[in-house]
Amino acid sequence: MPIDLTDRIIQPPPKKAVKLHPLRRLAQVALGVLLVVLPLINWLRVDVTRGRFWILGQSFTAQNMILLFYICALGAVVLLSVSMVYGRWWCGWICPQTLASDFGDSLKTRIDLIFRASLGPAWGASARVLWKALMLVMAVVTAAVVCTYFYPASRVWISVFHPLSDHRVSSHLAIIAGVIGADLLWVRRHFCRRGCPYGLMLSLIGDKNTMTVRYLWERDDDCISCGQCVTVCPMSIDIKHGANQMECIGCGECIDACNDILPMIKSAPKAGLIELRYGLDPMRVTSRLNVFQKLGLWDARRYFLCGVVLLLFVGFYSEMFGSRATTITIVPSGTITQSDGCVFELYDLNIINGNPKDTSFTLSASGIDKMFLFHPGHVIRVARSGQKTVRITLAAPSKNLSLGQRYPINVTVQSLDSNQERRSVATIFYIPEQSTPLKAG
């Protein structure tokens, strides 16, 4: 069967090719800003000092750990789906390691050019020293950003400038900065080539419909062997050696280079010889794809992954914004006193607010005739999806009680919101054989 290459060979290229480099830089800048801002506005942060975490500005406690599971599962499935559909797009466009490597390489090149152009080649060693110093500063700043995900930002930045003020934060800063500094100075692209497991994972899940950077061998006669595709490649590979090379990060720099060079050299300008393409089949003409195929949805596996992502998102949304039952627990503190014809007993009451908003609660007690409950605030306000422990006092007239008896009682917590939610918990009001008189004052 003959191969239909009409759209790739005869049709002229678009009037203005879309350059990938500016889009890639925009994605990297947006990622960098997002990673800095997320913990500062409490959209994603785990405060290890207070045992709480924040998602989308809402504060949660340990009983809401299921939300972190949803986030981790959603992130893993989204990464798996993106990898299956768009190949190495993660590596070349939004991977933090690639962002750090691009920044380090670009800064090194610019400093070297400035020093050599202005001061001469003899200043090359000074340029390298300056670059290493800036990389170390970058490592400290990046480490501080990482620590803001686990500690308050003010505490982190105070530790940056005054390391002895907080030994715990300073030690974590030093460890993280050391790892990042070593990566920026000596590792960078070597990790992508030899240490990153992402390429191996992609080789297992990629298939004939996965997007890849492909050299059009059917138009090899148009290649002028300028080598620009290798020169601009951050991984220094030759795309002509084949698609899906383990070192290829799918950045698209070679595509821009070929689209820029080839039309200027050839007498009859054509589209470049490298393109992003779903699969390697030259019979697949890109202009004839339907909407879903252009988005990368080619088969049932991809639709299945979209369904899994949707289900996880629904679960995350319902857990994040849905109402849950308020939970209360009560524990006697063991303090029992007697005064003015009444027996007093102290309890620790814990309220876990299941509502997605701040809620006020009132307390009441029942089980013994003329029993009453003391709480200094009268109304207990608990943050959304948060918890609070309060000390309450239960009292009952001595004449209604017998020494050495245990009386079952109920403490009721009622919401003051429109839903008027009521929750009760059972406990014991104990009257010992001998009560200790209440001390004055």
Q: Is 88 in contact with 250 (CB distance < 8 Å)?
A: yes
For 154, 170, 232, 350, 369, the CA distances from 32, given in Å and listed in that order, are 20, 23, 23, 41, 64
For 291, 325, 352, 413, the CA distances from 419, given in Å and listed in that order, are 46, 11, 16, 13
User: Tokens for 162?
Assistant: 């005054």
User: Tokens for 213?
Assistant: 């950077």
Per-residue model confidence (pLDDT) at position 372: 86
Per-residue model confidence (pLDDT) at position 441: 34
Q: How many residues does the chain have?
A: 441
Q: Is 164 in contact with 184 (CB distance < 8 Å)?
A: no
Q: Which alpha helices (DSSP H) does 368-430 contain, by range?
A: none
Phi-psi region of 202 (alpha: psi -120 to 50; beta: other; left: phi over 0): alpha
Per-residue model confidence (pLDDT) at position 2: 44
Strands 359-366 and 379-382, by their bridges, are antiparallel
- In whole angstroms, give the CA distance from residue 274 to residue 260: 11
Predicted TM-score (pTM) of this structure: 0.76
Per-residue model confidence (pLDDT) at position 266: 62
| Residues forming beta bridges with residue 379, ordered by sequence position | 362
Per-residue model confidence (pLDDT) at position 10: 39
What single-letter amino acid sits at 332?
P
Residues 6+ apart with CB under 8 A from 345: 332, 335, 336, 337, 393, 394, 395, 429, 430
For the chain, domain boundaries: 20-64+95-201, 210-288, 327-437
| Residues forming beta bridges with residue 54, ordered by sequence position | 45, 59
Determine which helix (DSSP H) or strand (DSSP E) holds 177, and give its type and residue range: helix 167-182
Q: Is 375 in contact with 392 (CB distance < 8 Å)?
A: yes
CATH code for the domain defined by 210-288: 3.30.70
Nearest to 293 by CA among 203, 204, 210, 205: 210
- In whole angstroms, give the CA distance from residue 59 to residue 65: 12
3-state class (DSSP) for residue 387: strand
Q: Is 396 in contact with 345 (CB distance < 8 Å)?
A: no
CATH class of 327-437: mainly beta
Strands 44-47 and 52-55, by their bridges, are antiparallel
Q: For the chain, 441 residues long, give each residue's pLDDT as a single digit of tens.
A: 444 444 444 344 444 568 999 999 999 999 999 999 999 999 999 988 887 888 888 777 776 778 888 888 999 999 989 999 998 889 999 999 999 999 999 999 999 888 877 777 777 788 889 999 999 999 999 999 999 999 999 999 999 999 999 999 999 999 999 999 999 999 999 998 888 888 888 878 888 889 999 898 888 888 888 899 999 999 999 999 888 788 899 999 999 999 888 878 766 556 788 988 887 776 666 667 788 888 888 889 999 999 999 999 998 888 777 767 788 899 988 778 888 888 889 999 998 887 777 888 999 999 888 888 988 777 888 877 777 889 999 999 888 788 888 899 999 998 887 667 788 999 999 887 764 444 433
Per-residue model confidence (pLDDT) at position 35: 95
Q: Is 91 in contact with 85 (CB distance < 8 Å)?
A: no
**35 CB-contact burial (10 Å; exposed 0-12 / middle 13-18 / buried 19+):** middle
Phi-psi region of 101 (alpha: psi -120 to 50; beta: other; left: phi over 0): alpha
